[in-house]
Chain A
Amino acid sequence: MHRTIKKIEEDTERFSFNTAVSTFMICVNDLADLKCHKKEILEKLLILLTPYAPHISEELWDQLGNQGSVLDAAYPTFNPALLVESTKEYPVSINGKLRTNIELTLDLEQPQVEELVLQNEVVQKWLDGKAPKKIIFVKNKMINVVI
């Protein structure tokens, strides 16, 4: 959500309204996929959307039980700290061939990573019960399992 706030604000400031519309679409798709129903997040989205689609924003704002008009709501601010990525989707290769992806938090070190990789279904299928010769882990980049 903070990424969306930042992007919409930047796009609007530089009159790049077409990219802002795309950002809204992506954001709503993501929220729908996540089945996100948190009021505080949805409210922020409405305020961002108000300049673009004022009628639906005002209606939904009203339905959320807000007092007053969305026209005068306080524009949400984004927290830059939250924009730092905390996880990464690592590509996992087996003998150099890309086989799957695993999402891991960035603070993990080699032993924890090895443990999690070996639990992965796809990796287990390729290992077929054998132990790997080696697991190469390059932080923030990739994982390679050598059989």
Chain B
Amino acid sequence: MEYDFRKIEQHWQEAWKKNGSYKVSNESAKPKYYVLDMFPYPSGAGLHVGHPLGYIASDIYSRYKRLKGFNVLHPMGFDSFGLPAEQYALETGQHPAATTEKNIATFKAQLDKIGFCYDWDRELRTSDPQFYKWTQWIFLQLFNSYFCNTQKKARPIADLVKKYETKGNPHFTAEQWNAFTKKEQEEILMNRRLAFSKYGEVNWCEALGTVLANDEIVNGVSERGGHPVEKKKMRQWYLRITAYADRLLEGLETVEFSESMKEMQRNWIGKSEGAEMEFDLIPGPSPEREGSRSSKLRVYTTRPDTIFGVDFMVLAPEHELVTVITTTGQKAEVEKYLHYVKSRSERERLAEAKIITGCFTGAYAINPFDGREIPIWIAEYVLAGYGTGAIMAVPCGDQRDFAFAKHFDIPITNIIGSHYNGEEANPTKDAILENSGFLNGLLMKDAIVVAINKIEELGIGKRKVNYRMRDAGFSRQRYWGEPFPIIWSDGVAIPLDAEELPLELPHVDTYGPGPEGEGPLANITEWVELTPGGEVKRETSTMPGYAGSSWYFLRYMDPENETTFCDRKASDYWNQVDLYIGGTEHAVGHLLYSRMWTKVLFDLGLIGFDEPFKKLLNQGMIQGSSRFVYRLDELVSNFDGSDKIQLGEYNFFISCNIAMPTDSDFDRLRIATLINEKTPGLLNIQTINNYGFSFSTLHVDVNIVDGVELNIEEFKKWKSSEFANAEFILENGQIYLWCGNRENEQAKFNTVDPSVLCEKYGADTFRMYEMFLGPVEASKPWDTKGIEGVHRFLRKLWRLFNEASAKAGKI
């Protein structure tokens, strides 16, 4: 009997479906195991060979655990809100819900062909109102909670109100609180809510018509489309993720993530311990400065041990002290420099570290320990938003400070003896300090604490912990996202009642932005304005792409529940995701937000665990390697190039090693002879050595390629048979292609549809072949060459069993 994989696979996929073989129950005596894939965004391109790598790995592990006697939850769903569907809607006018629906159908059909063991009864979609009802509900929990700094956890905001009403706080008494207007009270409370609104500088992308999160910006341009991004002040929603910085760091110790993943999160949180200290300023001759004699310069440093090596100060050009301290003599210079900085984007300021720019203000700060006068400069590499917007520069210990000092001829003080060679800075902490007053003879590591103690003793500064992480922007001026369950009245944000959820997305006629940078929802006056004239109106932003994915893993446990986001009994049973599989690209986005939401829900007693993912496995990427075929362009005379023979129109395609031989010289005569065989008399063989050939490369769709060989019949049909009459100059009967990785190529022909391979070889072959390519965590180029070998293996297995049953039959 033949191995008819098509019939077998179809038969069993139908049988499994009919028998509910993958239905998972929350009631089981078996131990539980929860395997989850990062759910996909259903893009229009469908599934490509890169997606299934992780899905197959998780499917294998799920099935393995089931065989080992576990009750395994292995669900799948779709992260179906997002920008691409909206962009597509803008271009075509099609409703994002319709395109999303269509794309999901394609994805599901593709996934089913591979034979995954998903319990589709638990499928969820973040854009489904029955799902986002609970996203909105959790948002309200965040809005109605604050972070208690003594208990280090989220608590209901009502507790805080009660405290204010009875005890007040260090800034106001209970009586004062009670006398505040409702609006004043709300403004104070807004500063504590875990989901809060404030005016902030946002990353406004004109081309996309929306505000982008920091992690949606790569190298200063939008991740999608590479459009420029500028700063703009707008009222925005934020998540107070900074309140959870320490717990997010501590939690990393309890989960199995790769060390590099943990390191990425630690760097993103960017906790540093140091001191913030104040420097006195030297009064200069400028009369403008008279009134500000008491101004001091506040600087944050992680290395107070290097205080005696401070040779200059650098302020961000936007620093509020700049206009105050600049001396008359330097005024013109400084203004010129400020003008220059205005023309520079944040990205340029940080990225172009090699170009050193700066300007002396004419003012000095005084080193509190030795009274030395330290010149104050301004320079673009210091940004106003980080720390205090001012740094103390220690050129012998910091390379950027060193380069700056060398460039502007600022004398360098060496405090680390032979550890500094005068050629470059040495950021060591293991040197013995010299030229350092009371710190002389101390190891730098130990001197840090000694210096901080002294600073606190003198009352010129204090210990301070700094975080690089900022609160996460949580609103977008877009249509295709969750509407906020918030109403604005007289500048006060009023939450909707839980009974009013879901607040469904209204229909819009146009997906273009609303007035003044608002989202498309702002265009629907009848939806927005709840009172005539719009004194009471709805929030018109929508939630960002990461809202639904911050908690979706909980919904799979109890997807049908209409009374709560996830019954406590279900979340207690399934508990943490035991194995989470996905790419590293979500390291500092989704994987931090979902950890924060989990911690908040835990603090509020809604779930029983405070880390969502016990173990994380990062699958590598499958790079679609590109294939190029050589085509003969023209024949040019060697002497002066004056004589050209155009050959492009003949569509001569040449095998790679003939066009570009690696082991011999380029053979003109051979090629000319081969060409004349195809088109007799086209070239003059006698004079051929006076000519040179030129070739171009044509990017070929990998679906008509087998390894490095071109499928010539398919190629002739490709692109509406553009090359139907092409001639091929073969090598061993084949056209070999040139391989390259051109990720940014406009025309992408390197997406392979897994369904095509499943159809040709079977899902079992495809599954095993994807695994055979190499370790799951490794990135690798896609190559279908080896798939035949895996297929032969399954045929061999088939024969083995058939022989067995034939033998059994005879006996």
Is B a genuine binding partner of A?
Answer: yes
Residues of A within 8 A of B (CB): 12, 15-18, 20-22, 24-25, 28-29, 31-32, 35-39, 42, 47, 49-56, 58-60, 63-64, 69, 71-75
* Contact yes or no, A56 B807, CB < 8 A: no
Question: A33 CB to closest chain B CB, in angstroms?
Answer: 10
* Contact yes or no, A16 B775, CB < 8 A: yes
Residues of B within 8 A of A (CB): 3, 5, 8-9, 11-13, 16, 19, 21, 57, 59-64, 66-69, 115, 117, 617, 762-765, 767-768, 771-777, 790, 793-794, 796-801, 803-805, 807-808
Chain A residues contacting B776 (CB-CB under 8 Å) are: 15, 17-18
Residue in contact with A55 in the complex, picked from B12, B775, B807, B808, CB distance below 8 Å: B12
Chain A residues contacting B66 (CB-CB under 8 Å) are: 71-72
* Contact yes or no, A42 B801, CB < 8 A: yes
* Contact yes or no, A50 B807, CB < 8 A: no
Question: B679 CB to closest chain A CB, in angstroms?
Answer: 48
Known A-B contacts A37-B803, A42-B804, A75-B69; the reply to A53 vs B771 at CB < 8 A is no
* Contact yes or no, A18 B774, CB < 8 A: yes
Most B CB contacts (10 A, CB to CB) among A16, A52, A53, A59 go to A53
* Contact yes or no, B61 A54, CB < 8 A: no
* Contact yes or no, B793 A51, CB < 8 A: no
Complex CA distance for A53 and B62, rounded to whole angstroms: 13
* Contact yes or no, A32 B800, CB < 8 A: yes
Known A-B contacts A17-B776, A54-B12, A54-B764; the reply to A28 vs B796 at CB < 8 A is yes
Known A-B contacts A12-B61, A21-B768, A50-B63; the reply to A56 vs B775 at CB < 8 A is no
Chain B residues contacting A63 (CB-CB under 8 Å) are: 801, 805
Known A-B contacts A15-B57, A21-B771; the reply to A56 vs B8 at CB < 8 A is yes
Complex CA distance for A32 and B66, rounded to whole angstroms: 29
Known A-B contacts A12-B64, A51-B63, A51-B64; the reply to A31 vs B771 at CB < 8 A is no
- 29 cross-chain CB contacts under 8 A: A12-B64, A15-B61, A15-B617, A17-B57, A17-B776, A18-B773, A24-B793, A32-B799, A36-B800, A37-B800, A37-B804, A39-B804, A39-B808, A42-B800, A51-B63, A51-B67, A53-B765, A53-B767, A53-B768, A53-B794, A54-B764, A55-B5, A55-B8, A55-B762, A55-B763, A56-B797, A69-B21, A71-B63, A72-B66
Chain B residues contacting A52 (CB-CB under 8 Å) are: 60, 764, 767-768, 771
Residue in contact with B805 in the complex, picked from A18, A64, A75, CB distance below 8 Å: A64
Complex CA distance for A8 and B538, rounded to whole angstroms: 58
Complex CA distance for A59 and B115, rounded to whole angstroms: 14
Question: B710 CB to closest chain A CB, in angstroms?
Answer: 28
Chain B residues contacting A71 (CB-CB under 8 Å) are: 16, 21, 63, 66-67, 117
Question: B57 CB to closest chain A CB, in angstroms?
Answer: 6
Closest to A12 in B: B64
Closest to B794 in A: A56
* Contact yes or no, B117 A50, CB < 8 A: no
Question: B353 CB to closest chain A CB, in angstroms?
Answer: 40
Complex CA distance for A42 and B796, rounded to whole angstroms: 13
Chain A residues contacting B800 (CB-CB under 8 Å) are: 28, 31-32, 36-37, 42
Q: Is the interface of B mostly helix, strand, loop or mixed?
A: helix
Chain B residues contacting A16 (CB-CB under 8 Å) are: 775
Complex CA distance for A31 and B798, rounded to whole angstroms: 12
Chain A residues contacting B772 (CB-CB under 8 Å) are: 18, 21-22
List the 10 closest pairs (A to B, CB-CB), nearest first.
A53-B764, A51-B63, A37-B804, A17-B771, A75-B67, A51-B60, A55-B9, A51-B64, A21-B772, A59-B8
Chain B residues contacting A69 (CB-CB under 8 Å) are: 19, 21
Chain A residues contacting B808 (CB-CB under 8 Å) are: 37, 39
Residue in contact with A56 in the complex, picked from B5, B16, B60, B804, CB distance below 8 Å: B5
Chain B residues contacting A53 (CB-CB under 8 Å) are: 764-765, 767-768, 794
* Contact yes or no, A51 B801, CB < 8 A: no
Question: B762 CB to closest chain A CB, in angstroms?
Answer: 7
* Contact yes or no, B796 A29, CB < 8 A: yes
Complex CA distance for A15 and B403, rounded to whole angstroms: 48
Complex CA distance for A30 and B799, rounded to whole angstroms: 13
Chain B residues contacting A58 (CB-CB under 8 Å) are: 12
Complex CA distance for A20 and B765, rounded to whole angstroms: 14
Complex CA distance for A42 and B767, rounded to whole angstroms: 21
Chain A residues contacting B797 (CB-CB under 8 Å) are: 28, 49, 56, 60
Residue in contact with A28 in the complex, picked from B13, B117, B762, B793, CB distance below 8 Å: B793
Closest to A69 in B: B21
Closest to B801 in A: A60
Complex CA distance for A12 and B771, rounded to whole angstroms: 11
Most A CB contacts (10 A, CB to CB) among B5, B798, B799, B800 go to B800
Chain A residues contacting B64 (CB-CB under 8 Å) are: 12, 51, 75
Complex CA distance for A64 and B801, rounded to whole angstroms: 9
A18-B772, A37-B804, A52-B767 given; 9 more Cβ-contact pairs under 8 Å: A18-B776, A21-B768, A42-B804, A53-B765, A54-B764, A55-B5, A56-B5, A59-B12, A75-B67
Question: A20 CB to closest chain B CB, in angstroms?
Answer: 7
Chain A residues contacting B62 (CB-CB under 8 Å) are: 51
Most B CB contacts (10 A, CB to CB) among A24, A42, A52, A64 go to A52
Complex CA distance for A50 and B60, rounded to whole angstroms: 8
Question: B358 CB to closest chain A CB, in angstroms?
Answer: 51
Question: B339 CB to closest chain A CB, in angstroms?
Answer: 57
* Contact yes or no, B115 A55, CB < 8 A: yes
Chain A residues contacting B762 (CB-CB under 8 Å) are: 55-56
Known A-B contacts A15-B776, A28-B793; the reply to A54 vs B801 at CB < 8 A is no
Complex CA distance for A120 and B764, rounded to whole angstroms: 46
Most A CB contacts (10 A, CB to CB) among B9, B59, B772 go to B772
Question: B256 CB to closest chain A CB, in angstroms?
Answer: 12
Question: B580 CB to closest chain A CB, in angstroms?
Answer: 12
Chain B residues contacting A64 (CB-CB under 8 Å) are: 801, 805
Complex CA distance for A69 and B69, rounded to whole angstroms: 14
Complex CA distance for A22 and B768, rounded to whole angstroms: 10
Complex CA distance for A67 and B8, rounded to whole angstroms: 18
Chain B residues contacting A49 (CB-CB under 8 Å) are: 797
